[in-house]
Amino acid sequence: MDLSEKSIEVARQRAAVFGLEDRIQFRAGNAEKLSSFVPVEPYDLIYSFGVIHHTPHPDAVLAQLKQYAKPGTTIKIMVYHRRSYKVAWIFLTEGRGQFWKLREIVARNAEAQTGCPIAYTYTRREGRELLERHGFKVTSVAVDHIFPYRIPDYVQYRYVREPYFAWMPQPLFRALERRFGWHLCLTATAK
Ligand SMILES: C[S@@+](CC[C@H](N)C(=O)[O-])C[C@H]1O[C@@H](n2cnc3c(N)ncnc32)[C@H](O)[C@@H]1O
């Protein structure tokens, strides 16, 4: 599910590429009101990638998701990581020293196009607490993903690394991703 009809359409096309379209139900709507358009029933796995940090009230989404969990349900979410290369980069390139505006500046520059209205970021502890206060038991917290490519090439489907990443040994790049990546990936089980 996704708030945007356009995103749902893209997901539908992607599913069709893999021949899975008829095995997936797609729903457009607000995750903060999930139960108003997705029937409440227990799921084995609840998965959300890169969505919960974009909604004004992430806790409202978690409260909704909890309704779809039974004891043992696995929940996997990805939210943006505060202590990341990306936040540091945004602040250095766009921040002009305005610490007090950091949240707004990060949101505006969080995506490929500027102007994203909301993009919260979380420390590992805050991510864990987001799940724990809704009765989930966190089993794994992992950080990953630094985008290494030059955007002008990437949008033309060419994967050319930024010079400072092109010369970096792959093991060092991976270590950097696992420490300062943009994706905070949390896994938990419902109690
Ligand atoms: C960074 S994209 C991630 C999209 C997709 N999950 C993926 O992995 O490619 C963020 C998505 O969150 C959606 N979104 C933001 N707020 C939402 C909400 N309250 N309910 C549902 N979707 C929301 C946006 O429409 C957008 O498609």
CA–centroid distance, residue 50 to ligand 1 (Å)? 6
* Ligand 1 nearest-atom number relative to CA 48: 6
What is the rounded CA–CA span in Å between residue 28 and residue 7?
9
The token pair that represents 162 in the structure block: 């930024």
32 in the same domain as 47? no
Q: Is the CB of 7 under 6 A from ligand 1?
A: yes
For ligand 1, whether the C-beta of 53 sits within 6 Å is: no
Same domain membership, residue 68 and residue 4:
no
CA dist list (Å): 24 to 5, 49, 128, 166: 16, 17, 29, 39
Q: Are 83 and 123 in contact (CB under 8 A)?
A: yes
Q: Is 162 domain-assigned?
A: no
The residue segments making up the domain with residue 11 are: 1-37
Q: Whose CA is nearest to atom 6 of ligand 1?
A: 49
In a domain, 14, yes or no: yes
118 plus 186 within the same structural domain: yes
- Which residue's CA is minimally distant from atom 1 of ligand 1? 50
Residue 66 lies in a domain: yes
Q: What is the pLDDT along the chain (191 residues), one digit of tens a residue?
A: 999 999 999 999 999 999 999 999 999 999 999 999 999 999 999 999 999 999 999 999 999 999 999 999 999 999 999 999 999 999 999 988 888 898 999 999 998 888 899 999 999 999 999 999 999 999 999 999 999 999 899 989 999 999 999 999 999 999 999 999 999 999 999 99
Q: Are 81 and 61 within one domain? A: yes
| Residue from 1, 7, 53 to probe ligand 1 pocket by mutation (most atoms less than 8 Å from CB) | 7
